[in-house]
């Protein structure tokens, strides 16, 4: 005989978890130094109080119980069907609450570093890996002792997330925190990361050769107003010494156009995606190359 699904107050659970995460948020960076230090002291007192009251153990227990379920459908079989979709969100919020309880608190991070194997073993669960990475990053930043417990298998597990998620900034933050301890290089971890990344170097380095963009402006800027005595038509001369037609897959071309002085930024890094901005590469300019009209990096 199958037991009837349990009615869970999902909305209340989600709101409670979100309220708790907000309760443990660090102070804003722009605060005055004294105000910030006072808020940090209050935050550490709250973290210590919740740890002393067994809150850390309770959160870990909840995570273990939810990890028994393999999927949202499995969870919905025990709870009501509409509760199944909330399983992934609840699990991630529990990990984020765990990160909030230990973030910036060295004592809590040091004690929790003993659970490093347990934490990294959970990285295989894609539905909660985002929250797990937050917890892991907090531990590695605040607890140098945790770096001594990191083994090559742990690093392989973290790097494997790059295959699953792509170049996720949380994965890269964790890998960075493995390489340094209080400003000192951790050579063993750096070597492990290089050994496991370099054989498949396309994981992080996805580059391509593109044309260099050079932008030239005239030495006279025009602003014509009604009734102005300014000349209405001007011409400028440009001498081209040499053209190499195909240095990359993209043909070399010259664009002539107009740009707004407010907004147009033709410096390296100004362009979308790969950097290097020319006239017609943004919405503050347009250019013509003899065949196409360019604006916003789109040719027409």
Can you give the pLDDT at residue 40?
92
What is the full DSSP assignment across 192-237?
A: HHHHHHGGGGGGT--------------S------TT--S-S-----
- What span, in angstroms and rounded, lies between the C-alpha atoms of 170 and 67? 22
- What span, in angstroms and rounded, lies between the C-alpha atoms of 265 and 285? 10
Which tokens hold the place of 119?
Answer: 């934490």
Can you give the pLDDT at residue 92?
86
Q: Mean pLDDT in each 10-residue stretch from start to end of the chain (300 residues)?
A: 62 90 90 90 93 89 81 63 71 90 87 81 74 87 82 86 76 87 82 76 56 72 72 76 74 85 69 65 88 86
Per residue in 90-147, pLDDT tens? Answer: 888 999 999 999 988 888 888 777 778 888 888 777 666 788 888 888 888 888 778 8
CB 170 within 8 A of CB 137: yes
What is the full DSSP assignment across 8-62?
A: --HHHHHHHHHHHHHHTPPPPTTS-HHHHHHHHHHHHHHHHHHHHTTHHHHHHHH
Which tokens hold the place of 136?
Answer: 């892991």
Can you give the pLDDT at residue 43?
93
> Domains in the chain and their CATH numbers?
10-149 (1.25.10.30)
Q: How far is CA 11 from CA 16, 60, 77, 146, in A?
A: 9, 21, 18, 36
CB 75 within 8 A of CB 87: yes
């Amino acid at each position: 005989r199958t037991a009837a699904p349990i009615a869970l107050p999902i909305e209340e659970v989600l709101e409670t978890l979100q309220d708790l995460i907000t309760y443990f948020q660090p102070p804003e960076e722009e605060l005055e130094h004294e105000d910030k230090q006072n808020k940090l002291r209050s935050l550490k007192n709250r973290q210590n109080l919740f740890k002393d009251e067994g809150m850390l153990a309770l959160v870990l227990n909840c995570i273990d119980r939810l990890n028994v379920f393999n999927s949202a459908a499995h969870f919905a079989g025990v709870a009501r069907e509409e509760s199944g979709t909330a399983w992934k969100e609840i699990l991630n919020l529990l990990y984020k609450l765990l990160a909030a309880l230990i973030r910036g608190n060295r004592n809590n991070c040091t004690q929790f570093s003993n659970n490093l194997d347990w934490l990294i073993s959970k990285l295989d669960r894609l539905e909660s890996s985002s929250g797990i990475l937050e917890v892991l990053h907090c531990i590695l930043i605040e607890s140098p002792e945790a770096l001594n417990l990191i083994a090559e298998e742990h690093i392989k597990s973290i790097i494997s997330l790059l295959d699953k998620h792509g170049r996720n900034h949380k994965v890269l933050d964790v890998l960075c925190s493995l390489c340094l301890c209080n400003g000192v290089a951790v050579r063993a971890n750096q070597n492990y990361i290089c050994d496991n990344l370099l054989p498949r170097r396309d994981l992080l380095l996805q580059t391509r050769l593109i044309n260099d963009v050079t932008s030239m402006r005239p030495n006279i800027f025009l602003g014509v107003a009604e009734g102005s005595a300014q000349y209405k038509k001007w011409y400028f001369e440009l001498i081209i010494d040499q053209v190499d037609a195909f240095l990359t897959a993209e043909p070399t071309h010259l664009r002539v156009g107009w740009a707004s002085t407010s907004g147009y930024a033709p410096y390296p890094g100004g362009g979308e995606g790969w950097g290097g901005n020319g006239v017609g590469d943004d919405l503050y300019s347009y250019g013509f190359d003899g065949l196409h009209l360019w604006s916003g990096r789109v040719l027409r």
